[in-house]
Amino acid sequence: MDETHNNRTSLVKGAKDIAKEAKRQASKNFNRAVERASDEYSAHRSYNRFQNEEEEEDGAYNQQDHYTDSTANDEDGASSDATEGHDDEDEIYEGEYQGVPAYNHGKPRDGQVALGQPVSDSVKSHKELENERQADEEELAQQYELIMQECGHGRFQWQLFFVLGLALMSDGVEVFVVGFVLPSAETDMCVPNSGAGWLGSIVYLGMMFGAFFWGGLSDKVGRKQCLLISMSVNGFFAFLSSFVQGYSMFLFCRMVSGFGIGGAVPIVFSYFAEVLAREKRGEHLSWLCMFWMIGGIYASAMAWAIIPHYGWSFSMGSAYQFHSWRVFVVVCALPCVSAVVTLTFMPESPRFYLEMGKHDEAWMVLKYIHDTNMRARGEPEKVFTVNRIKIPKQLDELVEMQNESANPVFKVLSKIKAELIGIYLTFLKCFNYPVKDNTVKLAAVWFTLSFGFYGLSVWFPDVIKHLQADEYASRVKIHNNERIEDFTFNFTLENQIHRNGVFLNDRFISMKFKAVTFIDSSFLNCYFDDVSSVGSFFKNCTFVDSFFYNTDIDDTKLTESRVINSSFHHNKTGCQMTFDDDYSAYWVYFVNFLGTLAVLPGNIVSALLMDKIGRLSMLGGSMVLSGISCFFLWFGTSESMMIFMLCLYNGLSISAWNSLDVVTTELYPTDRRGTGFGFCNAMCKLAAVLGNLIFGSLVGITKAIPILLASSVLVGGGLVGLRLPDTRANVLM
């Protein structure tokens, strides 16, 4: 009886198990049918193609598709595959991250053997592995675009926008600070004419090498990490440069500071583009470009407010001088410091994590982005439903193994060597198919646009200064054959020429000579006390029985002059800065401020139209129009006309810069985006150096060569830019 009851119980239990298994298989087939229909109807909401089609046969539980809704379960409350065999306490809810490996782990690939076992990577050629990785990249690009649409555009992107904007603002400040401190720094440090101009060139050289190095390194160790280090280098040496006294040490600090800030542009745009959906990318990258303009406005305003206030300076003895331009340098380092502090609170780029095969880290960042945006929208209950993300096949790289007991210095050097080799190999990939032609074209466009922009940026202010000097010289007062006896000069003499004058028993006390020249004059029994001079000289003059105390009159200002029975005591050391009543500096800084502010309309127009009329149309059109506007410089015969042309040119060219930043970001795949962008930006800085040297040497000589040169390179670069591929519909590879 008991045996019969046990058999009947076993039979009933077996029947229930069979029915349950049949019901589970039917539910699974039904779910698949629903998923296929959903794929065809709404492809942009489906990730099913990235899921495994075959279930494991070893009895392990299978993860239910994360986009299957609750209607997929049967009306009797049958369990899904994800919860089959689990107690209520162990149930895994939909959308909860389960630590599953990337989708391609375990999926059979092309080239399987007859028994169904995948071919080992060790027996595949490098080309086959590269092809597999390329296929994975294309699949990941499509999926990542859908994930970013799922995360939405909201609070996180705006937070990162302002943080990266501070970094980009620092780059703009670095470019403008060079021109603003150049005259004051060279005067303060007694730089001879042979050394003048090196400051501008050496900073651009530092930025050139920094762009290539940091951009390449960001493809190896991460966007955030490299940006933090590069900005820290910039901030530290920029701050240090304000305190050093020697010109050579000042040049070194500014060069290293430029090397640090060189990584800002390639990393910032790569970083921000990787957290933007396709329909938002062009517009918001263009808005980000505005921070470069804000940096220029900030530098111009601070220079205008600080540098001419020479009374802000202080000294410690005669060896250490801290003038107002050094205060300006410190203030210009503040955006960089702010960027470093705020960047520490931001996560790494999830797209970079996926490229490196770090699936879990990427998932955590994407979930953080999703949850941050959903909370800001007032939808905190909305669950991040992604639990599997495609990662590209990781190719083994040759790694030099070091002995654990090796010298720590040797380990560091070996690590640096390995990173440099990795950057070089990644750089070579930028000249491989299919991005080779794009790299050459982009480098040409970056070079021509930068050459014209930076060349004219140097030429415009110098031409204005030249016009000011001509106008100033036209107001010079000339005194001939004068005789002044027993008179005390205790006021400023400015813009005067004294010929064949005789000064007898005169006293020059607590006074200033500014652009004053004495020619063939005699000073008999004169007394000079606390005298300062700028741009003043004594040519073929005679000093007899004269006394000099606490003056800056020395052999450099006594040209072919004779000193008879005269003495010099406690001469002023160092070079003298310009005077408190020198208002020409205000005008120069104000002109730069207007030129930078003129960029604002172009920035707004380019951001609004970037996704409407296209990147290439805006790039080519802006460069061609900028080249054409250069021809109007023929009519620049006055300061007001030159300032107007400067504003017009800046307003037209900014759209080209914004478009070029967007196109460069979108044309390179993730594994070489920083390297490619860094190389293009390095070409930009090389062109800036050449533009400074060439255009600066032509000031006051001719107008034809700068105008024709700038116009031709801008129009030519614009035509090359039109040959680039359109990237509006691109997903980030």
Burial class (CB in 10 A: 0-12, 13-18, 19+), 310: middle
Q: What is the mean pLDDT of residues 325-329?
A: 84
**87 has a pLDDT exceeding 60:** no
Nearest to 267 by CA among 238, 221, 224: 224
Identify the residue with better confidence: 307 or 156.
156
Res 683: pLDDT: 93
Residue range 616-633: mean pLDDT, rounded: 86
Checking if the pLDDT of 668 tops 80, the result is yes
Q: Say if CB 185 and CB 199 are below 8 A apart.
A: yes
Using DSSP bridges, classify how beta strands 502-504 and 522-524 pair: parallel, antiparallel or unpaired.
parallel
- Looking at per-residue pLDDT, the higher value among 559 and 577 belongs to 559
Of residues 72 and 616, which shows the higher confidence score?
A: 616
At residue 731, the pLDDT reads 60
CA gap 599, 658 in Å, rounded: 11
Banded model confidence at residue 325, pLDDT cuts 50, 70, 90: confident
Report pLDDT for 447: 94
Amino acid sitting at position 449:
L
- pLDDT of amino acid 95: 42
- The one-character DSSP state at 641 is H
Task: Specify the amino acid at residue 696.
Answer: G
- The C-alpha angle 663, 432, 353, rounded to 5 degrees, equals 65
> What pLDDT, on the 0 to 100 scale, is given for residue 600?
86
Per-residue pLDDT band for 309 (boundaries 50, 70, 90) equals low
- Which residues neighbour 511 within 8 Å (Cβ) at sequence distance 6 or greater? 489, 490, 491, 492, 493, 530, 531, 532
pTM of the model: 0.73
Q: What pLDDT is attached to residue 59?
A: 38
Q: What is the dihedral of CA 397, 402, 408, 412, to 10 degrees?
A: -20
- Residue 417: Cβ-neighbour burial (10 angstroms; 0-12, 13-18, 19+): exposed
More confident position, 9 or 519: 519
Please give the residue that has the higher pLDDT: either 171 or 392: 171
Look up residue 362 and give its two tokens.
């990427």
| Least confident stretch, 118-127, 162-171, 538-547 | 118-127
Of 372 and 246, the one with more pLDDT: 372
Tokens, residue 727: 């990237």
Q: Which of 547, 560, 552, 485 is nearest to 518 (CA)?
A: 560
Dihedral in degrees, nearest 10, Cα atoms 133, 135, 140, 146 = 170
Beta pairing, strands 492-499 & 507-519: parallel
| pLDDT for res 445 | 93
User: In whole angstroms, what is the distance from residue 104 CA to residue 124 CA?
Assistant: 17
| Domains of the chain from N-terminus onward | 154-188+196-354 (1.20.1250.20), 399-430 (no CATH), 477-569 (2.160.20.80)
Angle at 720 between CA 717 and CA 725, to 5 degrees: 135
Instruction: Render pLDDT for 34-61 as a digit per residue (tens, 0 to 9).
Output: 455 445 434 444 444 444 433 443 333 3
Residue 99's pLDDT band, with cuts at 50, 70 and 90, is very low
* pLDDT tens digits for range 351-360: 888 888 888 8
Q: How confident is the model at residue 169 (pLDDT cuts 50, 70, 90)?
A: very high
Asked if residue 33 lies in contact with residue 44, where contact means CB atoms within 8 angstroms, the answer is no
Cα separations in angstroms, 170 against 7, 447, 546: 82, 22, 53
Phi, psi of 90 (to 5 degrees): -100, 10
The number of angstroms, rounded, from the C-alpha of 519 to the middle of its chain's C-alpha atoms is: 53
Share of the chain above pLDDT 90, in %: 23
Residue 233 in tokens: 């280098």
**Least trusted range by pLDDT, from 392-401, 419-428, 509-518, 631-640:** 392-401
CB contact at 8 A, 694 and 455: yes
Query: Residue 376: enclosing H or E segment and its boundaries?
Result: helix 359-377
pLDDT in tens, 489-520: 999 898 899 999 999 999 999 998 988 999 99
pLDDT higher for 639 or 504?
504
CA angle 658, 662, 666 (to 5 degrees): 170
The pLDDT value recorded for residue 395 is: 60
CA distance 62 to 81: 6
pLDDT of residue 186: 67
